[in-house]
């Protein structure tokens, strides 16, 4: 790279020779590579995603640079200069807090020729600026490894999110502080494993845990209005699932319990009470009304929050659509 950099490796209790290999590399590159070790089991994680969160937090606390990027151990880069180019783009655009590249998706064990790009070619022009509004409303979601991010040393994401500091949360945390600028490159190869966190979940678990329209506002309240207004259909799928007695695994239910959201806590109950049935039907009717009448006012979304989540509203929550 054309600038000073550091590589921080966090090892989550590997039982093989991984730690020894890391130490060997540290001895060879003492001014470049830093390492830390953790046993996420000591923190009572509810699922593998929370294990990943603890491991990322363990590495993040050592970060000192102006920019940061996360790389998974089983992924790789095709070139050697993409991060340099992303940093240059961020230096050119101080109004942006993230620089995004495209990503190749490759199934584990498959020939590289079978890969496909996350975004279709030409979706974004080079140096295209993407606002938080556009990113959320048009659902331009991509894995966090696509981004180089401007680190904000005044806010500690480890303290803010802890075990939930993973993938989408990392992206949206940094999106609070500026726009996204796109670099027309596709140098990161994301390896999909059939037994990975995202691939091995039961279908109902995916519907609930992957509904970012509920999850992200609980952790990053400033995006509440944007998510509620543009993803009501996603939310109603979760509401209908629990209304009809749908269940998620005990592990997934435990991972979202105590987030302060009624719609999450109810998955930990053995059954619905009459009060629950009335409340869930009210939420469904209200969402359908918002969709039918195309109501997206801040006050209307605030009512939805009170019905679905809690009457206690975070002081940083924004319900208006900027």
Lowest mean pLDDT among 134-148, 185-199, 294-308: 185-199
pLDDT at residue 293 tops 80: yes
Torsion sign across C-alpha atoms 206, 209, 210, 213: positive
Q: Which pLDDT value is given to residue 313? A: 87
Taking the CA atoms of residue 85, residue 90, residue 92 and residue 94 in that order, the dihedral angle to the nearest 10 degrees is 180
C-beta separation of 226 from 137 below 8 A: yes
Kind and range of the H or E run holding 36: strand 33-38
- Give the CA angle between residues 130, 133, 134 to the nearest 5°: 45
Range 219-228 average pLDDT: 96
Range 1-26 average pLDDT: 88
Instruction: Show Cβ contacts of residue 127 under 8 Å, excluding neighbours closer than 6 positions.
Output: 89, 93, 181, 182, 183, 184
Q: Which pLDDT value is given to residue 40? A: 74
Q: Tell me the pLDDT band of 4, cut-offs 50, 70 and 90.
A: confident
Radius of gyration, CA atoms only, the chain: 21
pLDDT at residue 184 tops 70: yes
Q: Is 181 in a helix, a strand, or coil?
A: strand
Q: Which pLDDT value is given to residue 286? A: 98
How do the domains of the chain map onto residue ranges?
A: 7-197, 201-308
Kind and range of the H or E run holding 232: helix 232-243
Q: Is 29 in a helix, a strand, or coil?
A: coil
Q: Which of 129, 144, 133 is nearest to 181 (CA)?
A: 129
The domain defined by 7-197 carries CATH number 3.30.9.10: no
């Amino acid at each position: 790279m054309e600038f000073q950099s550091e590589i921080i490796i966090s090892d989550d209790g590997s039982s093989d020779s991984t730690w020894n290999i890391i130490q060997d590399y540290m001895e060879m590159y003492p001014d470049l590579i830093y390492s830390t070790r953790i046993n996420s089991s000591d923190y009572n994680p509810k699922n593998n995603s929370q294990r990943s969160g603890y491991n990322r937090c363990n590495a993040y606390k050592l970060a000192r640079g102006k920019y940061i990027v996360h790389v998974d151990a089983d992924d790789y880069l095709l070139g050697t200069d993409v991060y340099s180019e992303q940093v240059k783009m961020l230096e050119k655009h101080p109004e942006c807090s993230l620089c995004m590249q495209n990503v190749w998706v490759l199934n584990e064990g498959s020939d590289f020729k079978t890969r496909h790009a996350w975004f279709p070619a030409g979706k974004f022009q080079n140096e295209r600026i993407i606002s938080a509004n556009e990113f959320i409303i048009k659902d331009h979601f991509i894995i966090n490894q696509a981004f180089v991010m401007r680190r904000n040393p005044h806010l500690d994401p480890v303290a803010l999110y802890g075990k939930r500091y993973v993938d989408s949360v990392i992206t949206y945390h940094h999106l609070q502080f500026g726009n996204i600028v796109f670099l027309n490159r596709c140098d990161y190869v994301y390896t999909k494993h059939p037994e990975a966190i995202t691939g091995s979940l039961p279908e109902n678990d995916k519907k609930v845990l992957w509904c970012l329209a509920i999850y992200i506002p609980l952790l990053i309240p400033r995006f509440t209005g944007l998510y509620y207004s543009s993803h009501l259909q996603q939310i109603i799928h979760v509401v209908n699932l629990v209304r009809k007695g749908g269940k998620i695994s005990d592990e997934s239910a435990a991972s979202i319990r105590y987030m302060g959201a009624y719609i999450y806590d109810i998955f930990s109950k053995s059954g619905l009470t009459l009060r629950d049935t009335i409340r869930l039907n009210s939420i469904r009717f209200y969402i359908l009304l918002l969709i039918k009448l195309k109501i997206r006012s801040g006050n209307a979304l605030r009512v939805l929050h009170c019905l679905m989540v809690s009457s206690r509203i975070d002081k940083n929550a924004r319900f208006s659509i900027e």
